[in-house]
A and B are shown apart, each in its own frame.
Chain A
């Protein structure tokens, strides 16, 4: 975790009205750039390390040379349930990990909020839902989630073998909670991985993630 340097974004309620005499050197006006700390597609994916449900530390740096998929989840979120209850997420995990891709499921719900789970509960969820991630990482402080600017569950990221973030956004193009919408949806994660294996740039590198908000502390 020490590798992360996070500047918490300050939200200024309202707006600043200044008159004619306002300023020219706009650089001076720019607040501490949280933007610099948040993951950007096309740039190096922020380094992180977090514990798995077995207490083992996993760090992104260890995955260099492998494609990594990050999935933010919250098992009680209706949008997440759409993809798990339809079996869509598990199928994608199985298909993709079979190609040697590392799939990390992250839970950033803080204790006491919807979606927060103990390591034991997380393992139970994996087995009852027949999920197939490489590992489930617990991020109760939200540090990893904030570093990636994860706002939704599900929120998907794809990191290439060189450690570049090549996709961030939704799982597919049907922003609904209807299970029937899984059929015929265009899956952006699969498309990104297809682009990578075909050796071309990811065609749709950024989409609006849809889902429930991540329940940060």
Chain B
């Protein structure tokens, strides 16, 4: 055989080998085409993947290779009627190379992409998908490589048949493909930097070990520059230097945010794709002087408006009436004004301090957080009721009901003015005046000194009308002359307070149910009773009268005890019915031990999802696995009851259950098999769920 003939034979051998084997080798990268199915259904899209096994020390590239490099490509030569989609890129690694940053893959990567076959194919027929893959592989030097790829599949008669080798590899790769971000995002550009904000509430910095943003395109951000990440209750903020394409910041920045979350002894990485639109500087983000000034101005305005709120107005009006008495003595008037302002500012500092401290401790609280406590709401209702009774003339402090202003302002001296300021603050907390929302929203995500400045501006706004009135005698002269009308006005102003009381009791009914309302109303009766006792014993010696009044009033704490004790009970048995799965998804029942025990005693299988709003892994698991229709089907088929144990707020019962399963945190997924004894060991699912893992576990029971 001639040399030429040998070549032809060899070439033929290579061609045959190349056609038969699904994989091709080059010195640095071994590629093969994988499929999740060995037999596909006509017309039904399935996933294939280009797998690259990369020599140690070398790497290939992501869709945005970074400052250098080139992503792999596939040129298809598919049979007619077949279409291949784009590669769904798993998130990459950072591979810095001197002053350049590149994004890519080392060791091995599986790049999945969807293929749609035509609908007219004969079952049992065999089809070969062919193409040519090309890629750049780099270590210190870069080498472009390419290879033919091919894969033969058969056409399934009915259901597709999974490929035992390809299916798990492709499923694993698809888990690393970013899911759309569940959180809104945006960015602000300065001349040097970009601040990317991802509004992911509840996340706590100590659970996140690494956060990195991989832009989808080159140019907007400096890829090699450090990314400075801050995690606060508002979300994630990432500062990075701007990239060389100056006008790139005029358009939304797309990319992938990879968040590494610490789990029990493990770290889970989650990738989210996001598109962040540009936002004008200073709208949120960093507290520029301008944004701080704006927040302070809004807070001041909000505080002013608070004066008009139904819960505040009566208190202040009566206080203002007291001014009339003092209008002839400017010095005392000013001193009262200052005492009142001090009362407002001091109590605002206390409320703001508590708010900041609670948020610092990780609690998700906002303005009016005190109202989340039924006991506080009840106390506030009683306070309003008592003040309203005073306005109506039922309670008469000091035994005289002449000169209404005196009772609240003059007689009680400067201490009384200070107390009136504090009362105004307490009365103001349930009200959210216009303008306040934005200012408070700004304040709570700022460092504490700035937050405090904004809150005190709010307080100053509340105190301002009264302060001005006391400091500008000309204005106080505008007040009408004292007279009997003042008593009538005061009695009239009692009604907004009664209304506030009624509203607070209604709030209470939402929080603690009928028993709570009962206790709150009992307290109101006691207050009425105490004030009657006080008046009825008008002729008796003061000592006895006070003793009798306080005896009745002493019963009030019993009501509070009643609310605290009955509140949770009320919420317990009357707890909401299982969420109705309107869209065919899984309905979750809230977890409690009694329910779990009852279900297991009745022999039903139970799945418990231990989760928390601040847990990224939990969120991703719910999105990718637990919310899938296929999983919901299996739950329904197997009659598995789904319980959700929400650990967003520390819950001692859930903590104990976690502990008994050998865990100290979430996520945790536990499947109790049907009919098993109460003490038998439940199945613990992996912390990172897939649809397949959940279905497999359920199928085993």
**Counting CB contacts under 8 A, is B228 at the interface?**
yes
Q: Which residue of B lies closest to A176 (CB)?
A: B70
> Would A14 and B100 count as touching, CB distance under 8 A?
no
Q: Are the C-beta atoms of A214 and B98 separated by less than 8 Å?
A: yes
**Is there an interface contact between B99 and A77, defined as CB atoms closer than 8 Å?**
no
A146, B70: Cβ atoms closer than 8 Å: no
Partner of B140, one of A26, A208, A215: A215
Interface readout for B431-454 with A: 1 if CB under 8 Å, 0 if not? 000000000000001111010000
Residues on B facing A (Cβ under 8 Å): 67-68, 70, 96-102, 136, 138, 140-144, 192-193, 205, 208-212, 218-219, 222, 224-233, 238-239, 241, 244-246, 286-287, 359-360, 445-448, 450
Q: Are A206 and B219 in contact (CB under 8 A)?
A: yes
What's the Cα separation between A179 and B136 when bound, in Å?
Answer: 15
| Segment of A16-24, A56-64, A97-105, A182-190 engaged in the interface with chain B | A16-24
Residue among A16, A33, A216 making CB contact with B99, cutoff 8 Å? A216
Docked complex Cα distance between A50 and B226 (Å): 31
Residues of A within 8 Å of B287, CB to CB, are 24
Whether A213 pairs with B98 at a CB distance below 8 angstroms is yes
**Residues 7-32 (chain A) with a chain B CB within 8 angstroms:** 9-12, 14-24, 26, 29-31
A81, B142: Cα distance in complex, Å: 12
Is A149 interfacial (CB 8 A cutoff)?
yes
Q: Give the complex CA separation of A35 and B194 in angstroms.
A: 14
A213 in contact with B233 (CB, 8 Å):
no
Expressed in whole angstroms, the minimum distance between the Cβ of A110 and any Cβ of chain B is 10
State whether A15 and B68 are in contact (beta carbons under 8 Å apart), knowing that A20-B232, A213-B102 are contacts in the complex: no
Tell me the complex Cα distance, A9–B224, Å.
9
Interface size on A, residues (CB 8 A): 50
Q: Which residues from chain A sit less than 8 Å from chain B, CB to CB? A: 9-12, 14-24, 26, 29-31, 33, 35, 40-42, 76-79, 113-114, 142, 146, 149-152, 168, 175-177, 206, 208-216
- Least distance between A112 CB and chain B CB atoms (Å): 10
Q: How far is the CA of A74 from the CA of B672 in the complex (A)?
A: 64
A78 adjacent to B224 (CB under 8 Å):
no
* List of B residues within 8 angstroms of A175 by Cβ: 70
Cβ of B239 and Cβ of A29 under 8 Å apart?
A: yes
Residues of chain B contacted by A41 (CB below 8 angstroms)? 244, 246
Given known contacts A11-B96, A22-B230, A42-B246, what 11 new A-B pairs fall within 8 Å (CB)?
A9-B99, A14-B210, A15-B211, A15-B229, A19-B232, A21-B448, A24-B447, A149-B99, A151-B98, A206-B246, A215-B140
Q: Which residue of B lies closest to A110 (CB)?
A: B98
In the complex with contacts A114-B140, A175-B70, A23-B447 CB distance below 8 A = yes
CB distance from B144 to the nearest CB of A (A): 4
Residues of chain B contacted by A113 (CB below 8 angstroms): 140
A32 to chain B, nearest CB (A): 11
Residues of chain B contacted by A20 (CB below 8 angstroms): 232-233, 359-360, 445, 447
What separation, in Å, do the CA atoms of A10 and B96 have in the docked complex? 11
Q: Provide the bound-state CA to CA distance between A159 and B142, in Å.
A: 29
Given contacts A15-B226, A18-B230, A22-B447, contact A213 B142 (CB under 8 A): yes
CA–CA, A149 and B223, complex, Å? 12
Shortest B139–chain A CB gap in Å is 10
10 contacts between A and B (CB under 8 A): A16-B229, A18-B230, A20-B232, A26-B286, A114-B141, A177-B70, A177-B144, A212-B142, A213-B98, A213-B100
Of B101, B102, B210, the residue contacting A15 (CB under 8 A) is B210
CA distance A116 to B458 in the complex (A): 67
User: Is there an interface contact between A22 and B99, defined as CB atoms closer than 8 Å?
Assistant: no
Q: Give bound CA distance, A57 to B241, whole Å.
A: 35
Q: Which residue of A lies closest to B94 (CB)?
A: A13
Closest chain B residue to A217, Cβ basis: B98
Q: Pick from A79, A146, A208, A213 the residue with the most CB of B within 10 Å.
A: A213
CB distance from A10 to the nearest CB of B (A): 8
A-side contacts of B228, CB under 8 Å: 15-16, 29
Contacts of A150 in B (CB 8 A): 99
Taking the nearest CB of chain A, how far is it from the CB of B434, in angstroms? Answer: 27
CB within 8 Å for A151 and B447 given contacts A15-B211, A20-B232, A20-B233: no
CB distance from A167 to the nearest CB of B (A): 11
Q: Top 7 closest A-B pairs, CB basis?
A: A151-B100, A12-B226, A208-B218, A177-B144, A216-B98, A212-B142, A151-B67
Question: Which of chain A's residues have a CB closer than 8 A to the CB of B233?
Answer: 20
Chain B residues with CB under 8 A of A9: 99, 224-225
Q: Closest residue to B240 on the A side, CB-wise?
A: A15
B106 to chain A, nearest CB (A): 16
Write out the residue numbers on chain B whose beta carbons fall within 8 Å of the beta carbon of A212.
68, 138, 141-142
Chain B CB within 10 Å — which of A42, A150, A151, A206 has the most? A151
Give the nearest-CB partner of B212 in chain A. A15
A60 to chain B, nearest CB (A): 20
